[in-house]
Structure 1
Amino acid sequence: MQCSKSVIDKIQSSVRRDEEELTECSSSLESRKRSLLSSEAVAAKINNLLLMCNFHSFKIKVSETDSGGYFIIRNNGDKADIETLSEGERNFITFLYFLQSLDDEGTKDTKSFVVIDDPISSLDSDVMFTVSMLIRDLIEKVYKGTHENVAQILIMTHNTRFHNEVCYRYNGRYPQEYHFYRIIKKSPEPNSVEFYGQVNSIRTSYQELWDQVAIASREEFANHPWLANTMRRIIESFFSTLGGERNLYEIDSNMSYEEKIVHNSLIAWSHSGSHTIMDNDSINLQSHNNEKWLRAFRIIFEKTGNISHYEVMMRNANQFIANII
């Protein structure tokens, strides 16, 4: 049987249309598969983090009807009303979803400027460490340029503990890409923003005490009347609060006779210089330089086997002071 040219053309045209439709359907199917796989991967990551942080009463599940959608379920499989979650639970799961959304393939062609404002509100201390670790990981990826979707990140917080956890680096030094700012409230005047460059100006109270000792060490023959209170707080924090020593006069067992005399004098001087307001000796007390007290302060750590702690704290304090001068 011989077909006419018009019939052949019609068949070929029909085949081409079918092939085009098949290509479109295959493309749509692959896109839906990627969306489903991506949603499941995000749900798995969030649920693993919830379990790691002891959130066992709920988890998220990928919606079977809404492409790319999620809903919260209880352990028995029932859907959870968002209003039944605590503020901390809502904040944490929202933060986790936001963090995972930054890796969404749909935003791969654009670079985002990410702002994170106090994500630890209403969270307990254990979760705070997890949130801090996740943000530190994000910062490191952005700094190294390995994050496909984020070009820059700004973190704002009122919580100094969270700030120090997020900004923790082993060597305490920050590259040029890191900038620190502090908002200074001057009510009723307008607030001001101070720029600190690569210097993290937020310190713990214990670090700030060592900063004062480092400052006095640089000017050991100058008069620093506040040094007595500073030394007392360091000694009591390290040896009494952490070390369990009830009597600071009794931690001199490895000292020589001369060192014990100076040690006992230091303990007495530090208490006298911090527990009294005014007395007849205040003028004489401040008229002496602090060189011998600084030397006795170091000997305490040396003779008790804690010289490494002294050296680390003094080194970090001197580095900080050098950066802000």
Structure 2
Amino acid sequence: MAAILLSDLSTLAQYLRESLELKKFSIIYAYNGTGKTRLSGEFKEQGKKFGEDREVTQRDTLYFNAFTEDLFNWDNDLKNDRKRVLKINGDSRFFSGLETQEMDNRIRPLLNRYADFDFRIDTTEWEVSFSREVEIDGKRTTVEDIKVSRGEENIFIWCFFLAIVQLALDGDEAYEWVKYVYIDDPISSLDENNAIAVAHHLAQLLMTTDKGPRVVVSTHHVLFFNVLCNEFKGKAYKHLLKRGAALGSYSLVDTSARPFLHHLSNLVELYDAQSSGSLYTHHFNMMRRVMEQTANFLGLDDWKTCIAAPDGADKALHKRFIDLMSHGDYSLYEPREMMEENKAYFRTIFRQFITGHPFNRTLFPNLFNIAGATQAVDA
């Protein structure tokens, strides 16, 4: 795969801007910690122009990243514990069309794909209130001014953003300034089904017209990346972003020439998750899928042959554990964190798997010591 070496973040952002003159989309896969959010910030900054007093006189990038979520914050009504609202930072140009575009009606059809709550935007107070229908004593009633969960809040903000992107695609006057859309990891901790749904929905929205803003999407979610690659086909650059050898430099690898080795990226993601302790139930499903891909590559009968427990009883237990944990009924946008006992089982199964097969050891830098021996699998 061809790689482009870029000396720093500014050079990388400029390269992306120039390359988007030839193709409308650029999709970037990168591990967490590579610098995706900083890249989105640098890309945005390069589109700004300033006046004599350093005030921003022009910009060209509508972006979604961690800072977008900071434009919303909760007022939990600590005094009365009754009216809880999500406050909006009305000073941001992100909300340019909020007062004139009936945003409620634009957001609601998008939100209904993913959630069962409703909302109302107050453009006088710059706040959002939420409600939900519940059943009480056999009768359906609407509970007002609720506080939605963090996952529900995230998906609401995402749908808010999509509604604004639609306005930019339509050439709405309030968003005529948008030349680029930069999306960085739109929804965190997606399970597989919803990674597919969100990626497909995003691609369908962006491909409704060949005109409109150029788009960059960066993500650490390998399935999300894969679906976007398939949806955009030849209309997108498909890159793997890595840190370069020199401090502060980057390597941008073109993954279009041959299939991206998604299972290896999944392995690194699982390794990072089990190392940090941030393990969720869907990680068992990911591990099983990697085992299936490994078995296919090696010509083995099925994924169970990749369970590397030395004892037959342990092997049967680990198979049963993976089966059970791979077929639960888990929340769409809030995958459940594992109990500590299950985390211990996951670490044991995972570490036995990667040490029992000839994967490149540089993918797992802290699992192997200098002499090449593995750490204890139950560490």
Structure 2-normalised TM-score? 0.37
Greater gyration radius: 1
Q: Which has the higher strand share?
A: 2
Structure number with the bigger relative contact order (C-alpha 8 A, sep ≥ 6) is: 2
